[in-house]
């Protein structure tokens, strides 16, 4: 088998020339990079639930955008940022309290989404919006959305780059950060707004509900592999892009195997993430037992003598 036939087996005809595929690849990569970078901080701050909640609440904005015919990215963004700010402004010091607030806000957000989606269905008599908002339809993204998506992505990455060190320190330990003069609460607020940007980007890509997969999955894999922060972030972005493009490819090719029905891209992406995580979690160096440190030469082991 030569390279030519191998390639044509991997990539079904038209893959590289299709306009929807190209748009999907660009927006998907932007969403994956931002989600990977932001996801690492989300995981080490223990805010995975907050990230998921932002996605759910932002779906209210996404469905409103469908109902009123405005740019869906703006809908997700607006609602997500609003939710991020209100979640940070509610002063919840204990983790359990924070979870309660987040849970209640999530329920309300999804309820509003349900209302808008219902209204949309009754006025346009299709169920398309629900699937698009919740599970994404990446091949249906208009190319006109690309500039705004890239702008949002660049903004999120810039913010993480600027906040990098104080954010890292306050994620590690808020008290240590406060002693070094870091405004910890402001950091928390700014970070959650950046999470909202990342989530909005993934929401138009893999859908609001599945955006958690793209936010947490690649980051979780990277944290298993990398032992320094910069490397973990880079790795999460690369893994995110790899699974997103891989998912797009599998989905595109699946039209061939399934007699023209095809599998949704979102499904393919999150399944790739799941498989990758399962593999890494089995073999990653983080699972190794703690290394023993031999005493430096010259130091004698301490022997306790009684009496």
Partner 1 sequence: MARGEVLAVRQASVSLSGRSILKDIDFSLEAGEFCGLIGANGSGKTTLLRTILGFIAPSSGSVTIDSGGKLASVGYVPQKFALDPYMPMRARDLVALGLDGNRLGVPLPSPGRRRKVDEMLESVDATRFADQRIGNLSGGQQQRVLIAHALIRRPRLLLLDEPLANLDMRSVAGVVALLRRLSQEFQTSVLLSAHDMNPLLSAMDRIVYLAHGRAASGSTDAVVRTEVLSQLYGYHIDVVRVHGRVIVVAAEAEDDAQAAVAHDPVHVAQVP
Name the residues that contact partner 1, by CB under 8 A: 40, 43-44, 46, 161-166, 168-169, 172-173, 175-182, 222-224, 226-232, 286, 290-291, 293, 296, 302, 304-307
Report the candidate in 302, 72, 111 with the shortest Cα–Cα distance to residue 207: 72
Number of other CB atoms surrounding residue 299 within 10 Å: 8
Distance, CA of 218 to CA of 231 (rounded, Å):
13
Compute the least distance from the CB of residue 122 to partner 1, in Å: 47
Radius of gyration of the chain (CA): 22
| Residue nearer to partner 1 on the CB measure, 37 or 248 | 37
| Residue nearer to partner 1 on the CB measure, 175 or 256 | 175
Compute the least distance from the CB of residue 185 to partner 1, in Å: 13
Compute the least distance from the CB of residue 287 to partner 1, in Å: 10
CA distances from 45 to 42, 81, 187, 280, 301 (A): 5, 19, 12, 21, 39
Compute the least distance from the CB of residue 294 to partner 1, in Å: 9
Number of other CB atoms surrounding residue 123 within 10 Å: 9
| Residue nearer to partner 1 on the CB measure, 2 or 299 | 299
| Residue nearer to partner 1 on the CB measure, 147 or 161 | 161
Q: Is 187 in contact with 5 (CB distance < 8 Å)?
A: no
| Residue nearer to partner 1 on the CB measure, 43 or 209 | 43
If you count them, how many residues does the chain have?
A: 307
| Residue nearer to partner 1 on the CB measure, 74 or 159 | 159
Compute the least distance from the CB of residue 201 to partner 1, in Å: 21
CA distances from 95 to 50, 67, 170, 207 (A): 11, 36, 16, 28
Compute the least distance from the CB of residue 206 to partner 1, in Å: 24
């Amino acid at each position: 088998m030569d390279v030519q036939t191998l390639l044509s087996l991997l990539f079904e005809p038209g893959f590289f020339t299709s306009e929807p595929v190209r748009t999907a690849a660009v927006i998907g990569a932007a969403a994956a990079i931002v989600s990977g970078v932001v996801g690492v901080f989300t995981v080490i701050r223990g805010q995975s639930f907050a990230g998921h909640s932002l996605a759910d609440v932002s779906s209210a904005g996404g469905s409103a955008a469908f109902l009123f015919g405005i740019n869906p990215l703006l809908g997700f963004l607006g609602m997500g940022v609003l939710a991020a700010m209100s979640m940070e402004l509610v002063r919840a010091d204990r983790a359990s309290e924070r979870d309660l607030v987040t849970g209640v806000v999530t329920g309300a957000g999804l309820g509003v989404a349900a209302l808008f989606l219902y209204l949309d269905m009754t006025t346009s008599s299709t169920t398309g919006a629900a699937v698009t908002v919740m599970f994404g339809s990446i091949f249906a993204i208009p190319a006109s959305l690309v500039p705004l998506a890239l702008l949002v992505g660049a903004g999120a990455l810039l913010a993480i780059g600027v906040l990098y060190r104080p954010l890292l320190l306050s994620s590690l330990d808020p008290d240590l950060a406060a002693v070094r003069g870091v405004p910890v609460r402001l950091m928390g607020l700014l970070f959650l707004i950046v999470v909202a940007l990342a989530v909005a980007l993934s929401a138009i890509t893999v859908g609001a509900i599945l955006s958690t997969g793209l936010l947490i999955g690649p980051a979780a894999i990277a944290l298993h592999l990398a032992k320094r922060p910069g490397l973990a972030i880079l790795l999460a972005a690369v893994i995110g892009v790899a699974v997103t493009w891989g998912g797009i490819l599998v989905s595109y090719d699946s039209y061939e195997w399934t007699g023209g029905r095809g599998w949704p891209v979102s499904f393919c992406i999150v399944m790739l993430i799941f498989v990758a995580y399962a593999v890494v979690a089995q073999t990653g160096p983080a699972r190794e037992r703690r290394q023993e440190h031999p005493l430096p030469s010259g130091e004698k082991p301490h022997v306790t003598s009684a009496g």
